Amino acid sequence: MLEILGYIGALFIGLVLGITGGGGSILTVPILVYVLHLNPLIATAYSLFIVGTTSTFGTISNFKKGLVVPKTAIQFAIPSVIGVYLTRKFVVHHLPDVIFYFGAVQLTKATFLMLIFAVVMFLAAYSMLKPPKKIEESEWKTKGPVIIIIQLFFVGILIGLVGAGGGFLIIPALIQLAKLPIKKAIGTSLLIIAFNSLIGFMGDVQNIAIDWTFLLVFTAISITGILIGLRIQQYINERLLRKIFGIFVLAMSILILYEEVFS
């Protein structure tokens, strides 16, 4: 029964990823951990492969519609890809099993990763629920390319830690910095997410044993979801969907915090 729920979740991940260009990937780790009971370290690695492969198929579909800007995607992807790969290769798998002790309480690596993930989910929900803010171009000019590159690098580190695609961080940057319209920002973000996730997963391949049968079946279902999501995208109110999904992600983040802190 739990396995069936997990595969239904895979379809839902793809649907939301196809419709919004980000957000669906934030559900992958909770489904793998709390529904299918995978270790969080394994779950974040699997999530990178699932999200990366699913986003690749979404990118192909969007490219045919002229909704992908490859040059912008590469410019944005390079700093974050480096951050993702280095984090998965040299940081995540080398964290101690117990991060620290505080009296009788100990913080394990698994709990640490899930707590970071819950915070990221909370930020993602906030990003989806807050009213859109018009940012003047002059505000971004003061940052300069070096600051932007550093920010994208740290986005990559965050993606590497939690195994999510980071669309909720990338899409606003594409709109505000690259001046892309929302549809092209969504399409281009999927290409960046694919780069980040699959290259990050390469940092895991040598460190963990992978159940390829399960991973490929779960990914295939998620790909089906994203293809359906891309088709129905034009028929729904995206702003309303993001608000509903934002509330759902917010509730999930609170549940994860409760589960990890009090259970």
Asked if 183 and 67 count as a contact pair (C-beta separation under 8 A), the reply is yes
Q: Mean pLDDT per segment of 10 residues, for the chain of length 263 residues?
A: 85 82 75 90 89 88 88 89 88 84 79 86 79 53 69 84 74 77 83 88 84 94 89 75 78 85 74
Q: How far is CA 30 from CA 6, 85, 105, 194, in A?
A: 10, 22, 24, 20
Rounded Cα distance, 8 and 153, in Å: 33
Asked if 35 and 207 count as a contact pair (C-beta separation under 8 A), the reply is no
The whole-number pLDDT of residue 138 equals 46
Give φ, ψ of 66 to 5 degrees: 75, 25
Rounded Cα distance, 226 and 220, in Å: 10
The whole-number pLDDT of residue 49 equals 93
**DSSP per-residue string spanning 154-191:** HHHHHHHHH----HHHHHHHHHHTS---HHHHHHHHHH
What are the residue boundaries of the structural domains of the chain, listed by start? 2-262
Nearest by Cα to 54 from 181, 170, 182, 227: 227
